[in-house]
Each structure stands twice: as C-alpha cells, then as structure tokens.
Structure 1
C-alpha cells in the first residue's frame, strides 16, 4: 500500500505515516475540507496558512481518487478477520465454548430438556407400529358398523359386554390393518349397490350377491375382483370367462447386473448425497435378501448386526411374522463377502446407518429424506413412499465403467434416462437373486429360504437352524457366477431386451440403453458370461474370521457374541471418561450415566465412555446421576412422589424393558 499514500510534502507525509500507519486509517480520519484543515492544524501548530490550503487540496483530491481502491481494501480486511484461522495449538472462543457445553453438567441437563421438546415435533420411535395399529382400529370399527347394520347375532352379544368397543376390536383378532382395509374396500361398493338397487344395506340372500357379481362382470371388472365370493361355481365360471381375455400375469422385472454395480459404487462414493448412499445400501440389501419394501420397513435397526459372517436384519411385525403369528420374528442374511466390484459396500453402508443422522431409536428402517437428500426427517416412510424413493434413486444411477483397477462411475451418463426407472416396481429387488439362483440350478425348496417362503413348510426351529446356511450358499454361488462365470451360465439378454423394448416404446434409444447395461462378457470362448473378475472380490484375511464358531443355533448367539466382544474392547480401554452410556439390548435406549454410578459398566453388554457429551448421544439420563448433576449445578432436585422416586432405584433400573444391556 506504499503507493496509495497522498503526494504531500515529505515532512508532512512522514509524520502522517507514523501517526496513521496505513492509508486506510488516514482516509477514515476526515470526510471534508474543513476536517482536513482541523487535522493539519492540530498535528502542525506552526504550519503556514498557504501550506494548509495546499495540503487540503492534495488530500481532498486523494480521497476522491482513492475511494474505490480503499473500499476494496476495507472489504478484504473484513473477510480476513472473519475467516482467519487460529494459531496452532490454541483454542478459539467458539471451540472453548463448545468444549464447556459438552462437559458441563448444567448444559447436559439443558440438552435433555431440548431432546424432550424435539421429540414432540417428530415421529415417535414406534411410529410404524402406532400407524398400523391406528389403521387396524379404524377399519375394525368400520366393519363393526356393517355387522351392526346387518343385525347379525354377534352384534347383540357384543352389546352385552362391559366394553363393547374393545369387544369389536377383539372380534377381528390379529388381522392386520391392510387386511381389514381391503375387506372394507371390497364390501363398500357392494353395500352401495344394494342401497341404490335394493333399498337395503345387507344382502337378504344369495340372489343379491349373484346379481351384484353379474353387474360387475357386465361392467368389465377384473378377474381378481371375484375372488373370495360366497358364490362357488358361479365365481369359477365367471373367473374363467374373464381370464380368457385378460392379459397374462406379469411378474416384477429384474434389475440388471449393471444396476447392482452402480449401486455398490454409489454407496462408497463420498461425493454423493448422504441419503442417496444410504438408500443405495437399502436397495442392495433388498436385492440380496430378497425383500419387499414392506419387509424392509419391518426391520428393526437396533437389532441389526454386521459380523464376520455377514449382515443380519431382524424383521419384527410383518405380513407373516409377529407376536401373534407362529413365527415371532425372522432374520434376513447377507453374506459378508458379497460384492461384484470388490468394494466393501456392506460395511460402508452399515456404518452410514449406524451413525448420525440415521441411528435414532425407531421401529422401522427407512425414514423420509429432506429436500436435498443430504439429510433425513425423523418421519416414518410408508412402503409406497419407499418404493417411490427407490424409483427416484434408480433414475439417477450413473453408468459403471470397467477400468484397469476395477470399476468407476460416469456421472454424466445415466443407466435409466428419460424416465426408464418406471420399468421396475417395488418388487423388482426381490426378484433378482431368486431368478439367478433358479438359472444356476438351485431347487425350489432351497430358493424358498431366500424370500422366507419356507417358514410355512418346516417348523420354526428347523427354519432358524437351516436358513442362514442355505441363504449363504445361494448368495455365494450367485456372486461367484456373476464374477467369474463358474457353474451354470446366467444370461440377462432377455432382461435387457425387455428394458430396450420399453425404452423404444417410451421414445428413448434402445441401442444406447443396451450398451450401457451390457456388462457381462465372455471370459473365454465358449464360457459363461461374467464380469471377468476373480472371486471372492473382497480380500478376506485369516484373522478376520473365527473358523471355530459355526454353531447351528439361533443367530442371537452370534449377536450376543459380537456385542460382548465390543463391550470387552471398550472396557479394555485405558481411558475411562467422566460419562458413559449404556445401550439396552431390546429397546436400544441409550442412558447417560456419570462415572461412579451404581450401574457398573463391566456388567453391561454395550458401553461407550466419553468426556464430552453431544446432544444426540443419549436418550435418557439415569435418575441417580441426574441428582448428582443438579447438585453440581447448585440446584435442589425436585420433590418426587414415592412411585416416581422408586423409578430411580436399583430395582427399577434393573427391571425388564428399561435396564441397560447386560445388567442383571
């Protein structure tokens, strides 16, 4: 800035440079000619009036000419002050403030209060269960009204109960909300037809049902509308007549191998949006686990385990499982080394779902994304919504390209441009591994384990003992066949051909689509089409596996072993923090404790120690430790009733459903 100083007398200029140091400060010292004269007379009492006038003229002209350069210089100074990095080894004010808020007991108590307030604005942890229970109650009451209007004998019996409302709910037993909804939607048009054509709301005989079905047939209904009718032979005859002209049943279309490769690469691509990577992992788990959208949403996140054998997802209440079903729960397995590209997508995706913002407590797997897909809303995503989100994900998949080092994505080219993602449905992921396994020669009984269809064929104990071994065997064979072409050949020409036909009908270039999806090549003349790689694509070190642990019991043994091993590693740490968090095995509740609490970490299955506590690190605070925190802050603990106080006792903490993992 030396050239920015005004062209004044050398003596006057040198004095002003010592006083103001920079031209910016000199420029800020005056605004007009009068202030310039006052400045010169105060700094130079003996200056002549002629010199004052000359200097005023020079400084006034300098201020006008240097207005724009000095304005830019001031902006640079401001930007430098805002974004100046701290010196090495020193904490900024913000960093010191953050450290204090994460270690102070009073700040942790405030975190707990804010967490409670935040939960009221978000879906509760059991949002899926409450939603389905609400639907079940709604349609139970609607069907109950139909029975009451019909005057059936059961209506009089229910009226005699002390609680008729609960009686109607129990009447429909364990029927799912969707089942009751479908029954009501089938009956409602029939009831409306009776009211308009017969003048009453309940059929008086078989004639009403036959006339209604004939009316539907005349209007051109589908053959599935007649299923479940009370009219036996008439239903069969009409269904046969309608089936002659009906289109054949169309199964869900298979994904192509190129789509699976693109999904694997998307998961490990850190430049992608966070929700895009997380949802790609969900889709691949659905593919290799032969899952529907409804199955995935019934998976319990806090029961998910990734071990050296593979991924294990536990399905809670679903269409075929639940507390009131013969099979209480069922597991989905994915082999640990499953990979087409050599990328460890299973571990990377599991880590994504185990970290913020995906690891909050809930009874469903996938939540709604935010607008930019770089975060999530703590809202339950219905299976239909999950299917739509998967469709959007498929529409943005990039084309994979083979390189000398493996595979990479070409973001500028899409696998399914021009809306071709609509070619696939929500059941498409479930159709891939089962179809390839059939092509490789696996029997129907073996393939039944993939989609959990064999649960009704064998006893519960036999299914649990056998499912993992059979599933891993099939997944390994499918993966190996696609990578190196071993076993019976698998051709996806028909799948790609159907996609090209759909593209042509949609106005897209079928040749371009075929080129982008054709990734299987013939490794040797006369061999099977494959990716031309070496199986297994993931390197497995001997110390990564426990060769002696090959039990045939339930998978809970493996989960407990992994959790116990993690706890032992945490307890072996040399540094034990001021706080520790215990995690409940059944409810995944994260309870915060202070060091010295009566809940001993060495008696808990899963424990994490910390010196600094984040707002999202815990769900609740131990009552005894909360009193200690309030005492540290100089606050008196609130007076609690006997029932409330007992909740903080050892007996209550060790009670079922609210105890830390492993405390007994």
Structure 2
C-alpha cells in the first residue's frame, strides 16, 4: 500500500513540473546540492542521474545530509525536482540501453577500451602521445579524406551572429578599430617616428590610431600577420623588433641595416615558401614604414639590394611552381539555365532570387565582395536596363579616391529567357526581400521561401552557388522558346568544383577580349578604368558598358572561331578524370553541358541571327528595332572607337580634347580618359595642337573631306566659336 501511495505521489510530482526542461530544473537546485551530485555542478548524463536514487526515501535522506537548515516546504520542492530529473533520465537511459544492445560485442570492447584509456589520460593530465606518421603519408597513403573548408574570419562570424539589419557598417567599423589598435601597438613597440609625432597631442593614443592611414581592416590584418612572423625572427636574433645590426650601438633611425631582412628572406627561400611570399614580406615592410612615418631616405623597402633580392628569389620560386589555374569560363548552357531558373516556379523563391544574383554578377563582371557593397535601394530599372551603385568595395568607399562605383545591366542581354531581368527584379522587389539593409545578398530561411535579416558571407555564398548548380536542369529548345527539361544539368558531383566564384567576374571580359575589343573599353566593364564619379563620367560609362554587353551577346551568338558557346568545357573532362570520375560519367557530363552549333540561331534576341545562306556571310548585326535605334558606335569596328576622347591631366584636372589617330597619344597610356562619341555638349579646356591644327575646329577632319563634313556638320557649327580658344 505504501508503494502505491509512493507511486501516485511521484506521478503527481512529474505532472506538476512537466512544463519545465531538465536544464531549468537543474538550475533551480541549490549550488551545494548540485555540487554533491556532479563534481563540476553541471547537469549529469542519464547514466548517472538515472540510477542516482533508489526511491523517494533515498532522496529525502540525501537532502537531509546535504542541505541543512532548509525549510520543510523547500525540502518538499527539492524532493520533487530531484525525483522528476531521475524519472526523465531513466527514460533516456532505457532508450540508450536499447541502442547499445544493437552494437556488436567486439565493437563494444574496442570502444570501452579506448574510452578508458582516454579517461585515464584526462585524469592524469597527460597529453595524448603524438603519432610518428607524417602529413605526407596521411595525404597520400592513409586513405583519409580531407574536406576542403573555408576558414571564417572574425568579421564573418560576427556578421553571421548579427541581428541588426544595418549591422555591416558597425561590424566593419569595429573590425577596423580592432586592427588599428593592433597596428598601433606594433608601431609603438618599434618606436617608429609617428609615435614621437603623436606623443605631444592631447590624446596620443587617438592621434596615433588616426595617423596610421586609411587602409581597410583586411589590408591591415594581412600586413600585421606577416609582420609578426618577421618580428619573431628579429627578437630571436637581435632582441629587437626592428631590423638592426646586433653589434652596432646606434639609435634608430641613424642606423639603416637590412641584413636581418636579407637573412629572413634567405631562410624563407630555403623553406621553400610560395613564390608570392617574398613580395608579401617586402610589401609588409613598405606598409609598416608608411604607417610609421619613416622618411623616404630611411626606408628599408626602397633599397635596391632588397628589391633585387626579392625579384631573384621570386623568379627562382616561380620556376618550380605549378601553373596558376585560371577560373574557367561559364558555358552558355549554364547561363541560359540560370535565366530559365528565375521563371521556374518549382524552385524555392530564394533560389530564383539567387539566380538573378548570379546573372547580375556575370553581366556586371563583379566580385562576390563587390555586391556586398550594393545597396538595394540604389537599384533602379529603366528602359535601358538595371543600374545601381556599389559602396565600400575593394576600390571604393569612404577615404578612397572613388566614393561610389556604378554598375549597369542592359535589358537586351539574354540567351534563353528574354524576361529574366524583369522577372528577377520583381522577385527582389517582393516583400520577402524588401527590408532595410546595407548589403545585397541575405541568407535564406530554412525552406528557401524568403530571406532572413543576415548577410551572406563569402563562405555561405560559395555553398549556395554549389547548391544552386545542383538544382539546375538541362535547357531544351521547344520549337519557339527555351524550356527546362527534367534531367539535371550537373550529373557528376565533381563538376561542382570546376567553376569558381571568380568565373562570373571574368566571363564578360574574356568574351570581349576574344572579340577583339580594345582593353581601354574592356576596363569600363570591370570598373578598372573608373577614376572619377562625376555625372558626365557615369553617363559615358553607362553608354560604353551597355553597348559592350550587347556586343558580347552578339559575338557569342555569331562566333564560330573561338566556340564561345561552350567556353571552358574543353578542360572539364581532364578535371573530372583527375577526381576519379569514370569515362562514361565524364562523357555524359560533357554532353549535358554542350550546346550544338545549330542551336546558336535560337539564342539571344530575334534580330541577332545569321542569315539562312551561311554563317560566314552573316552581317555583323541587323538593327530592326525602330523604337530603339542602335547607336552608331556599335556599328563601327572596335578599332574605330571612339572618334574623340578627352585626356584629364595634372592636379588641376585639365581636360584636353583629342581625336582618334590625330596624335601620338595612346589611350591605354592615359591615367584618366573620357571617350567622346559625339562632340555635342562635350566639355574640354584645351584642344590638342596636333589633333586640331591651326584653322581647324574640333569636329572637322581635313583628311576626311566632304565625307565627314556631313556627319559632323552640326558638331562643327556648335564648336566653331570655340576654335580660337583652343
């Protein structure tokens, strides 16, 4: 009867405390009682807690012996908590015992033996005995597989944990402040001149931190880490943190000695290090001297012996280094499948939005880090296409020469889905993606139906790219439109690693280079040529970029020499074979990605088609759209572009007007140049005396005669009044 009463009371106790978790119940116990059950006062496992008490009387005696002077009501509560924890642990223990019963006896013995040995080592404080096997053996003969992992930086970890929608600016500011303090401590330790300059300021620490320059956090981190390696070498050889002769007793900076640097370079050469390490060491010294305010005459990084040594060591290391693997081009089959994926309702909404992100990177030739600085509120859709502004990129942002960088995507560039730009834009304008933030690509939620308020870092973007490639299906021509078939586009998993995150960056530039477009035009696409953010330059850049995008589309559709349709696929079979794929799988994967040359007439806008006679006789372009006449610049050959250009020179930014072929000035040698396609409204300060000789107005070319007088008549009349000033 007593046992029945005891069972009923225990069930009542469990019912009363059923809404609390085991962790909450454990924290509710006094600390002295928890320490008596577990040595570290942590919640013990079910193996311990499930067999700790025999019955409720045992619980009462344990409370009496442990908690003296406790009120009776508190004892009743503690009794109920302990008994509830034991009943829950007993249920878990029963499930564990059932799983253990399925393990073979031999495996149990080996596991218990290993666990016992590990516990003895932990109790004795003895570290595990190191193995005598080498890493080379581990990689080549052990059979173990090493997973490729992307190390997450402290900034990436903070961004992943950030809850604020506008967290990127604050986190980057904190990261910059952290590395500035690290750099300031190293500069102070080396007693560089900037320390003495800032010591008399009202706040020396703040003055020193601000006087170190405006480098990015990633740049400071890279230089500081390289400097710490050399600092350890100097401390071990001379007990000094700055290179100096250990036998000389001359205060810095009267002594300039690079023997320590030469010795360090020689040691790294014998390692042997990577071929980029010597230049990284030299760049580290140049950075520290610039941040430390070292005078030009005292800079070690400018010594000829040091620079020559770095060049020779780099040449030696490059002789034995394998060739650098360039990012392969993206075949049109993947680009077209990505366009069709935007309209594929069977895909999660986030993956359709991610397809738009991939195409935006491809046509704007952007890095993954570039679009981190793309403010969604800056994106605008017009009749020409999509435009936006990049902020805080590798080459733009506060403290940089260029504050903002523009990007453009023409509405006429497509291979298989003419509406991909509008469809993708509508997805990004939906409520699932329209929330205030200072970055472009957010992370997806669990089911991919929307985005969460957290930025996608490079590592997460890399994983999303591989996941997206898995979801792509093979495109097929349906007679009038392109459609997605049921078969996957990527058959071999090893092919997912063939394309890198740099593939989108170099695709458009590689296509334009194959078509013979001059480099000074290609630089506009990747924003390498941008040297100012004026409204005039943005208008010029938009005109050039949109024209080049449409020219690249036309070139891919009409090209028969370079096989741009299947660019990059020639290296795929060898790549798959190196990763253990069978010959049959390699053949299937290559065929799935190949587009037959006869299908090129089905790609792109309807007016971009070779005629039925032969592709060789096809005109370079056929403009039939009366609403949007094609600019004359697109109808000219690449070597004839542009007819005029303005060279901006000097600190006063003098604008000198040139004409194509008028003088010996080469546009590729100019640091800043504005192409001028029409002289109407072109603003310049002076005209080149060789391009525009006495008596000739800008816009008139004596060599062209009457042929050019008609085409530039309006320009000549508009600029005639300024000929005397030129």
TM-score above 0.5, yes or no? yes
Deviation at 1:122, TM superposition (A): 5.8
**Aligned pairs (5 A) from 1:527-606:** 531=602, 535=606
Find the counterpart in structure 2 of residue 472 from structure 1: 546
Equivalent in the alignment of 1:512: 588
Question: Could you report, residue by residue, the CA deviation over 1:194-224 in whole angstroms, capped at 9, with x for unpaired residues?
Answer: 3344433332231111111111111111121
* Contact in 2 for aligned 1:301/1:363 (Cα 8 Å): yes
One of 503, 511, 514 as aligned partner of 2:576: 503
Distance 1:312 1:214, change over 3 A: same
What secondary structure is seen at the aligned counterpart in 2 of 1:223? coil
Stretches of structure 1 lacking an aligned partner (at least 5 in a row): 1-120, 524-528, 549-664
Task: Kindly report the root-mean-square deviation, in angstroms, between the aligned alpha carbons of the 2 structures.
Answer: 3.0
- 1:52-111 C-alpha deviation (Å, 9 max, x unpaired): xxxxxxxxxxxxxxxxxxxxxxxxxxxxxxxxxxxxxxxxxxxxxxxxxxxxxxxxxxxx
Please say if residues 289 and 332 of structure 1, whose CA atoms lie closer than 8 Å, have aligned partners that are also in contact.
yes
Kindly indicate whether residue 339 of structure 2 is the aligned counterpart of residue 264 of structure 1. yes
CA distance in 2, matches of 1:543, 1:372: 46
TM norm structure 2: 0.54
Partners of 2:607 and 2:624 within 8 A in 1: no
Compute the displacement of 1:244 (Å).
1.1
Pairwise mapping of residues 294-333 of structure 1 onto structure 2 (< 5 A)? 294-333=369-408
Give yes or no for the alignment of 1:216 onto 2:240. no
Q: Does 1:243 align with 2:338?
A: no
SS of residue matched to 1:186? helix
CA separation of 1:341 and 1:362: change in aligned 2, threshold 3 A = same
**Structure 1 residue corresponding to 2:537, chosen from 463, 467, 473:** 463
Tell me, yes or no, if the aligned pair for 1:256 and 1:495 is still in contact at 8 Å: yes
**SS of structure 2 residue aligned to 1:454:** coil
1:136 aligns with 2:180: no
Tell me how far apart the structure 2 counterparts of residues 388 and 217 of structure 1 sit (CA, whole Å): 36
Partner of 1:21: none
Distance in 1 separating the partners of 2:601 and 2:589: 19
Residues 490 and 472 of structure 1: CA distance in aligned 2, closer, same or farther (over 3 Å): farther
* 1: CA distance, partners of 2:587 / 2:510: 25
Q: Distance in 2 between matches of 1:366 and 1:189?
A: 36
Identify the structure with bigger relative contact order (alpha carbons < 8 Å, sequence gap 6+).
Answer: 1
Cα deviation code 1:259-301 (max 9, x no counterpart):
1011011111111011111111000010011000011111110
Aligned residue for 1:491? 564
Contact 2:184 2:212 in 1 (8 A): no
Cα deviation, residue 227, structure 1: 0.8
d(CA) in 1 for partners of 2:537 and 2:326? 27
- Tell me the residue number matched to 2:286: none
**Partners of 1:339 and 1:537 within 8 A in 2:** no
**In the TM superposition, what is the alpha-carbon distance from 1:361 to its structure 2 partner?**
0.7
Asked whether the equivalents of residues 491 and 588 of structure 2 are also in contact (C-alpha less than 8 Å), the reply is no
| 1:595-647 deviation line (CA, Å, top 9, x unaligned) | xxxxxxxxxxxxxxxxxxxxxxxxxxxxxxxxxxxxxxxxxxxxxxxxxxxxx
Task: Output the CA distance in 2 between the equivalents of 1:532 and 1:195.
Answer: 65
Alignment of 1:401-416 (within 5 A): 401-415=476-490
CA contact (8 A) 1:368 1:377 kept: yes
SS at match of 1:293: coil
Q: Is contact 1:340–1:537 with CA below 8 Å preserved after alignment?
A: no
Structure 2: gaps of 5 or more residues: 1-160, 245-256, 283-300, 610-622, 632-726
1:288 is aligned to: 363
- The counterpart of 1:399, out of the listed 474, 482, 485, is 474
CA 129–488 in structure 1, closer or farther in 2 if over 3 Å, else same = farther
Instruction: Work out whether residues 480 and 535 of structure 1, in 8 Å CA contact, stay in contact via their aligned partners in 2.
Output: no
Matched residue count: 422
Alignment of 1:643-662 (within 5 A): none
CA distance in 1, matches of 2:169, 2:538: 25
Distance 1:545 1:474, change over 3 A: closer
| Cα offset, 1:426, TM superposition | 1.5
Are 2:209 and 1:169 aligned?
Answer: yes
Indicate if the aligned counterparts of 1:342 and 1:537 stay in contact, CA closer than 8 A: no
Counterpart of 1:67 in structure 2 is none
CA distance in 2 between counterparts of 1:515 and 1:301 reads 38
Aligned twin of 1:354:
429
Alpha carbons of structure 1 residues 504 and 439: separation in structure 2 relative to 1, 3 Å: same
The two structures have a TM-score, normalised by structure 1, of: 0.59
* 3-state SS, counterpart of residue 424 of structure 1: coil
**2: distance between equivalents of 1:398 and 1:165?**
59
Query: Of 328, 332, 340, which residue of structure 1 is paired with 2:415?
Result: 340
Q: Give the conservation status (yes or no) of the 8 Å contact 2:176–2:217.
A: yes
Q: CA deviation at 1:541?
A: 12
Task: Give, in whole Å, the separation in 2 of the partners of 1:357 and 1:175.
Answer: 36
Answer whether contact 2:473 2:484 (CA < 8 A) is retained. Answer: yes
Matched position secondary structure for 1:168: helix
8 Å Cα contact 2:404/2:533 also seen in 1: no
CA contact (8 A) 1:308 1:545 kept: no
1:179 to 219, 222, 225: 219
